[in-house]
Amino acid sequence: MILEKLNSGYSYRELAAEYGISRSTIQLWKKCIERKPYPKRTNKINDELLRKDVEQFPDDFQRERAVRFNCSQRAIGVALKRLKITQKKDS
């Protein structure tokens, strides 16, 4: 919308004041209209292997899984959360 107004005769200064953004932002938008694709991050821990590991060793700590998968304990925790595997506590 802003770029259309710019092409129809509005100045950078007028558009910046009207929309509350800087002139340099509008200039960058005009220079680079297409959005840059960002590569999707891949998971370091294979979901199926982790699922099998949990089935095989259900009582292991995250630090023990981290040693087997050669990663950090936090990475194991994030992967387990992604798989919706939580620790069940019995009362």
* CA angle in degrees (0–180, nearest 5) for 13-14-16: 65
Range 44-63 burial, b when 16+ CB lie within 10 A, else e:
ebeeeebeebeeeeeeeebe
CA distance 14 to 25: 13
pLDDT digits (tens, 9 = 90+) for 12-28: 999 999 999 999 988 88
CA distance 6 to 13: 10
pLDDT digits (tens, 9 = 90+) for 30-83: 887 677 788 887 778 999 999 999 999 988 999 999 999 999 999 999 999 999
